[in-house]
Amino acid sequence: MNSDAQTLSPYHTILLVEDDVRLSALVVEYLQNNGLQIETEFRGDTAVDRILSLQPDLVILDLMLPGLDGFEVCKQVRPNYHGPILMLTAKDEDIDQVVGLEIGADDYVVKPAAPRLLLARIRALLRRTEPESHQQGSSTVKQDKLSFGRLTIHSDSRTVSLNQTEIEFTTTEFDLLWLLATQAGRILSRDDISQALSGIEYDGLDRSIDIRISRLRKLLHDDSTHPKGIKTVRGQGYLFVADGWEA
């Protein structure tokens, strides 16, 4: 694998949980060549303690692992690990993607993944959690709170409250909600969302955005059959309705 010209900041630590030793070595080499510090783990049943003790900036988690599968690892660490989890799986099935996102994964890449695609997904996830002191080129005053009736979103603390009750969101779920909310009243296409959140063009096949929208509706008690807060505009995309959260 050749090094990509653009590198990430060296303070990021990633834990790769992958039982394929050869693939693991290739991924480690490529990511290290692009400025990342990589730790490895090869079993699911030892990965839980490793994630919780190391608290890496990001976890790349294979789905099929000895001892404990990636779904169970994700489920067990989520209450005490709040960094992004990127699932790496050989299964290109909607049900696996849905389950992964439902239990707290932030994104997924289907193997065999092109190295640059994997790196792009990692960069996108790390940018969302990067401390502001490390971010460059942004001198704009940031709005840190949005309120829509019963719904309140804080960007500084990355918290969401509905009816004054706080709701747990993954990194990607929060970022999607914040994007939609800051563009309230505007239809965002799947390509708009993909470009904004990951810097990658929508390929017309990836259903992760639809799955996450469904997940947001569930978390926010927005009726999936007749949603009032996050509407689907057929053939165009999604619309966040500012007054859809009134009592």
Task: Tell whether 240 and 183 lie within a shared domain.
Answer: yes
pLDDT digits (tens, 9 = 90+) for 69-101: 999 999 999 889 988 999 887 766 666 666 777
- Please list, residue by residue across 170-191, b when 16 or more beta carbons sit within 10 angstroms of its beta carbon and e when fewer do: bbbbbbbbbbbbebeeeebebe
Q: Are 89 and 111 in contact (CB under 8 A)?
A: yes
Rounded Cα–Cα distance for residues 189 and 191 (Å): 5
> Which run of H or of E encompasses 240?
strand 237-240
- pLDDT score recorded for residue 107: 84
In total, the chain counts a number of residues equal to 247
DSSP lists the bridge partners of residue 68 as none
User: Residue 118 in 3-state DSSP?
Assistant: helix
Domain end: 101, 133, 165, which one? 133
Structural domain containing residue 102 = 13-133
CATH classification of the domain holding 64: 3.40.50.2300
- Is position 117 within any domain? yes
Taking 70 as the threshold, does the pLDDT of residue 156 lie above it? yes
Q: Using an 8 Å Cβ cutoff, are 73 and 98 in contact?
A: no
| Any domain includes 1 | no
Question: What's the chain's average pLDDT?
Answer: 84
Domain boundary among 133, 159, 183: 133
- CATH code at 225? 1.10.10.10
| pTM, 2 dp | 0.65
Q: Each residue of 159-217: pLDDT tens digit?
A: 999 999 999 888 888 889 999 999 999 999 998 988 888 777 777 777 778 888 988 99
Do the domain assignments include residue 8?
Answer: no
Shared domain check, 188 and 104: no
